[in-house]
Amino acid sequence: MAIERKRRNAIPEQDATIRSKNFDEVALGFDEKVAIDEASRCLNCKNAPCMKGCPVGVRIPEFLAKVREGKFSEAGEIIKSTNSLPSVCGRVCPQEEQCEKMCVRVKIDGAVSIGGVERFIGDYMLSLPSENKEVIKTGKKVAVVGSGPSGLTCAAQLAQKGVEVTVYEAFHKTGGVLVYGIPEFRLPKRLVGAEVDKLKEWGVKFELNTVVGKTITIDELLEQNDAVFIGSGAGLPMFMGIEGENLNGVLSANEYLTRINLMRAYESGSATPVQRGKNVAVIGAGNVAMDAARTALRMGADEVTVIYRRGREEMPARAEEIKHAEQEGIKFRLLSNPVRILGENGKVNAIECVKMQLGEPDASGRRTPVAVENSEFILPADMVIVALGTSPNPLIKDSFDALETGKKGTLIVDESLMTSVDGVYAGGDAVTGAATVILAMGAGRKAAQSILDRLGVK
């Protein structure tokens, strides 16, 4: 039987000319009527191909069916059974490369906006009054290192089974990369705070300003707990190693975004110092590069240019983020690679690049960029933001030699996500290197189940 065509509902957004000058959320989300209409587009496929694209196995057809019936609380409970942070995931997950990519409607009239409906339900659940969370305490204790997506997910799964959980966070606020790495205009921090408050209702404790490896050691955590989960992320920035990277005005995207996102340097009267460039160059083309470029524009830059050594099709950022950046006036210099950062009196004033062309595919299947001879050119810039990825901070490994790590400093784990140390588990970016929020959450969920199995908790 032919499938009736029903066009996908677009998520309303702030106008680009307005939003580029504020930090309010860009995507405004579905209202109740549109969420129901979009959910009704689901064909309720028996084999649910969309679920196969979800790293945490959200029961997508089931929750969409409840939304279609207007039973939002029931839809929320279905999502929450596998996804602890639906309000977050609805905003930042790359659904177009995961669940929505597998949707049968993709080639007909556009995939069901699974992320858009999930966001609506996540926000709805956060708006409900608090409930008394009653669980049978097991007497077991687990320490979670890091309050990012993997740590929060692991903590949630354990607490709901009666395990006493304490989360240790190095910063003065909870949320990890959700608060320091993702801008307010993509993920309002009040939502992260609300999700954390829900965990506190389950009895999860948070120790802030606590650097594991310095303030407290993993040995001490093992003595005080039945297991430890390391979800410390990957916050160590990478640089190119080219001339001029030590000039004033060259920043890692990590530092730049942390000052603005976590410490709210964009607010008037903020005590957090942050550089405000007028002609900003951003090196890289992933989601972090898009975040940095769009943030620089909102911080008062007259011109922001993204420099990337490959072409448009090879850009790793989400298509939505690239589109939003272009709408806001961000410029792109593709097939260009920085070779030197220039300066005067110790301060950046330009960046020298060389034109590139794509050669043969490398081991990953991506075509290798090759420099074009004698094609150097100069771009003026009073600020350069390097967004080339991150690796795990070596502090935890350096303070606990028994932990085995890979070549890039990532923690080595087995199939149960246990490290080389008995009783110490790890997941998220600390294991994979910088990846997506949903993959980190999937690791936190898997590690929690492994810990529960170890502790004999059903």
pLDDT tens, position by position, 421-434: 999 999 999 999 98
Which of 50, 202, 81, 64 lies closest to 120 in space, CA to CA? 64
pLDDT digits (tens, 9 = 90+) for 236-279: 999 999 999 999 999 999 999 999 998 888 888 888 888 999 99
CB atoms < 10 A from the CB of 179, how many? 22
Contacts of 127 (CB under 8 A, 6+ apart): none
Q: Which CATH number does 16-127 carry?
A: 1.10.1060.10
Tokens 């955590």 belong to residue: 221
Q: Tokens representing 299?
A: 């911080």
pLDDT at residue 50 in the model? 96
351 torsion bin: left (phi>0), alpha (psi -120 to 50), beta (else): beta
Q: Tokens representing 193?
A: 């705070």
What residue spans in the chain does CATH classification 1.10.1060.10 cover?
A: 16-127
pLDDT greater than 70 at residue 132: no
pLDDT at residue 28 in the model? 96
Cα 386 vs. chain centroid, distance in angstroms?
A: 18
What residue spans in the chain does CATH classification 3.50.50.60 cover?
A: 141-235+391-455, 240-388
Q: What's the pLDDT band for 367 if we cut at 50, 70, 90?
A: confident
Q: Tokens representing 327?
A: 């709408």
pLDDT greater than 70 at residue 2: no
**SS3 category, 60:** helix
Q: Tokens representing 33?
A: 């009527």
Tokens 């029961």 belong to residue: 59
* CATH number assigned to the domain with residue range 141-235+391-455, chosen from the 4 options 3.50.50.60, 3.30.450.40, 3.40.50.360, 3.30.200.20: 3.50.50.60
Structural contact between residues 117 and 33, judged by C-beta atoms closer than 8 angstroms: no
Cα 401 vs. chain centroid, distance in angstroms?
A: 29
* CATH number assigned to the domain with residue range 240-388, chosen from the 4 options 3.50.50.60, 2.60.40.3080, 1.10.287.110, 1.10.10.10: 3.50.50.60
Contacts of range 410-413, beta carbons closer than 8 Å, 24 or more positions apart: 410/234, 411/230
pLDDT at residue 193 in the model? 94
Spatial distance between the Cα atoms of 19 and 16, rounded to a whole number of angstroms? 5
